[in-house]
Amino acid sequence: MPDTMRPTLRSYLVVAALAVLFAPTTVEAQLRRGRQNQATAAWAPVSVGVRFGYDQNSNGEVVGAHAHIPVLRSGRVELAPSADMTFVQGAKDYQYGLDVAVVSGGREGGLYLGGGIGYRDTVATSGGSGERSTLFGYSVLAGGRTGTDSLFQIMFELRWIFLQDTGTIRYRPVPITLGIAFPLWGRG
């Protein structure tokens, strides 16, 4: 074979580049008889909403907003950022948190357990001076919710908040809330 007819490395690279460029982006295969095509489930929807309740240790009403962002496709594990305002005697406490929750039924709802971190802006530790302080803390939560296949979800939650650097005052808020959330997609 003459040297001019012999393929070179450059020609192999050109053929490979053309094959990659014109290759199909999706490939469908035939299924054997009797087998069903396994469709992958869509991601569980992100839901956002509001909640109302009572903080029994702070003796105040709670109003807040929350979101639930799935980490797994099934919705069994989710991130739950939240912001709450507690109306305590003559003042307001603000709580900002990020929790991770494990939902027993995923997108169908059910019981959930979780925990996370947060900050609370409060006057409760000032000893009556009225000065605000921002405290770091941990939270543990337990609750239940309905599924994401309807127009809205109903949620019930009990949360224990463990604040750091509270000084001599033992301040442990425990809000009980009832909320409503709206899935952003995938409603029944």
Class of 47-183 in CATH: mainly beta
Q: Which residues contact 23 (CB under 8 A, 6 or more apart)?
A: none
Task: Tell me the C-alpha distance between 111 and 158, whole Å.
Answer: 12
Task: Tell me the C-alpha distance between 50 and 2, whole Å.
Answer: 79
pTM: 0.72
Q: Which residues contact 94 (CB under 8 A, 6 or more apart)?
A: 83, 84, 85, 86, 120, 121, 122
Minimal CA–CA distance to 153: which of 144, 162, 141? 144
pLDDT by residue, tens only, the chain of 188 residues: 455 555 666 666 666 665 555 555 455 556 566 666 666 668 888 999 999 999 988 889 999 999 999 999 888 999 999 999 999 888 899 999 999 999 998 888 899 999 999 999 988 766 666 688 888 999 999 999 998 778 889 999 999 999 887 665 677 889 999 999 999 887 54
Q: Which two tokens stand for residue 66?
A: 């929350």
Q: Where are the domains positioned within the chain?
A: 47-183
Task: Tell me the C-alpha distance between 36 and 85, whole Å.
Answer: 51
Contact (Cβ atoms closer than 8 angstroms) between residue 170 and residue 162: no
